[in-house]
């Protein structure tokens, strides 16, 4: 695994029995539930959509070119509290052939061409992402962003950009969460720090923007 400086080190991660099967997804999205938010935003959630999520997690952990980027905040360049990597949807690393399949199913269901996958590795409870809307999509009237969660569960929260109560989803291994409509423009989302958590990877599918 990676230590706090982003270097490879040993760590303990126990796969679940349910995650030990070959990777596959439910093509019919049968258990998907949509939550309508305010201002034309919505969120779809489908628990356990990706079967064999532990195999995908282990392969992504080893094969992706993880790195720790910096971001400009209050005039300083600060390391992001997570590791990131980019995945070419059309030509993924060996062992991640399920990723183009996921992209095609998302294309068909949401009427968008998902051409990019960004991976985030949350090494433990100290890794997080602050409240935000997608940097480009928040300037568009509508956008769709799909997240497939791997590894240990973490809470994913959303709140109205202009203020108001937040709502949360506990995303476990193989869960699908899709934000659509005006969500990136009128709402914000976060994966907050927690006292203790195991490693988690989120695979974020984004479509082409004008």
Three-state SS for 53-106 is HHHHHHHHHHHCCCECCEEEECCEEEECCCEEEEEECCCCCCCCCHHHHHHHHH
Per-residue confidence (pLDDT) for residue 5, from 0 to 100: 44
28's tokens: 């019919």
Per-residue pLDDT reduced to its tens digit, 79-137? 889 999 999 888 999 999 999 999 999 999 999 999 999 999 999 999 999 999 987 77
Per the structure, how many domains does the chain have? 1
**Mean pLDDT of all residues in the chain?**
89
Q: How far apart are CA 68 and CA 101, in angstroms?
A: 28
Structure-derived torsion over alpha carbons of residues 55, 58, 61, 62, reported in degrees to the nearest 10:
-110
Q: What is the pLDDT averaged over residues 188-199?
A: 97
Per-residue pLDDT tens digits for 153-173: 999 999 999 999 999 999 999
Who's near 105: CB < 8 A, 6+ residues apart? 25, 27
What one-character DSSP code corresponds to residue 163?
S
pLDDT at 134: 86
The confidence score (pLDDT) of residue 61 equals 97
Residue with the bigger pLDDT between 144 and 2: it is 144
pLDDT at 69 over 70: yes
Query: Which tokens hold the place of 82?
Result: 């997570």
Of residues 131 and 11, the one with the higher pLDDT is 131
Average pLDDT over residues 44-49: 98
Where residue 145 sits, what CATH number does that domain have? 2.60.120.590
Tokens of 127: 């890794």
Instruction: Say which residue, 7 or 169, is predicted with more confidence.
Output: 169
Instruction: Give the structural domain span for 34.
Output: 2-207
* Dihedral class, residue 40 (left if φ above 0, else alpha if ψ from -120 to 50, else beta): left
Confidence label for 16 from pLDDT (cuts 50, 70 and 90): low
Poorest-confidence range of 26-40, 61-75, 82-96? 61-75
């Amino acid at each position: 695994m990676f230590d706090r400086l982003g270097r490879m080190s040993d760590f303990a991660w126990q796969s679940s029995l349910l995650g030990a099967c070959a990777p596959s997804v439910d093509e019919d999205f049968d258990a998907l539930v949509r939550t309508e938010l305010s201002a034309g935003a919505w969120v779809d959630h489908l628990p356990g959509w990706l079967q064999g999520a532990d195999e995908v997690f282990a392969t992504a952990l080893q094969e992706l070119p993880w790195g720790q980027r910096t971001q400009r905040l209050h005039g300083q360049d600060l390391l992001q509290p997570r590791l990131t990597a980019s995945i070419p949807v059309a030509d993924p690393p060996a062992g991640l052939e399920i990723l183009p399949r996921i992209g095609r199913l998302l294309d068909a269901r949401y009427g968008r061409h998902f051409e990019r996958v960004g991976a985030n590795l949350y090494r433990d409870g100290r890794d997080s992402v602050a409240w935000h809307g997608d940097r480009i999509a928040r300037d568009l009237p509508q956008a769709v962003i799909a997240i497939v969660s791997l590894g240990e569960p973490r809470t994913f929260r959303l709140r109205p950009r202009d203020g108001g109560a937040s709502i949360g989803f506990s995303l476990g291994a193989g869960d699908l969460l899709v934000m659509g409509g005006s969500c990136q423009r009128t709402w914000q989302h976060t994966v907050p720090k927690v006292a203790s958590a195991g490693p988690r990877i989120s695979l974020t599918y984004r479509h082409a923007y004008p």
